[in-house]
Copies of this chain bind each other. A is one copy, B any other.
Amino acid sequence: MKSYTEYLWFNTRKHREFINITDKVEEALQKSKIKEGFVLVSAMHITASVYVNDNEPGLIQDIEEWLQKLAPEGPTYNHHQTGETNGDAHLKNLLMHHQVIIPVTEARLDFGPWQQVFYGEFDGQRRKRVVLKIMGE
């Protein structure tokens, strides 16, 4: 069994941002030399998400508007009594989930035709990390 670990760093220009990281995950897979296994792609922060969906700008705008509706920025959350202002970003993280597992088959990400993996930042403009961990043979 082989394993390979790599960290991706982000420091977004905007407070919220959606970044297609499929190419970076594919590069890590090639470096790992693993042909059959799992790639875990997992945000190391509790105000960001890793998710799989379509790379279509209109849809990305829909996702942002939907998140604002279901986990709105603005209300005074109990969490804000600590001095924090990012209660909404914690809830957005829970809604979108912070990780995915991508299967690896014959040395490739075993994705369907439209699947792309994204980093979703909900409280950006600071340095944050995603861990890639690949296990297999």
Pull 13 A–B residue pairs with CB atoms less than 8 Å apart, ordered by A.
A1-B136, A38-B38, A40-B103, A44-B115, A45-B112, A56-B82, A58-B77, A58-B78, A59-B90, A62-B87, A66-B71, A94-B95, A99-B101
Type the 1/0 row for A89-127, where 1 means its CB is closer than 8 Å to any CB of B.
Answer: 011011111111101010000111011000000000000
A68 within 8 A of partner (CB): no
- A interface with B by C-beta (< 8 Å): 1, 3, 5, 36-38, 40, 42-46, 51-54, 56-59, 61-63, 65-66, 70-71, 77-82, 87, 90-91, 93-101, 103, 105, 110-112, 114-115, 129, 131, 133, 135-137
A interface, by DSSP: helix, strand, loop or mixed? mixed
> For the complex formed by this chain, how many copies does it contain in all?
3
Q: How far is the CB of A105 from chain B (nearest CB, A)?
A: 5
Least Cβ distance of A45 to chain B in Å?
5
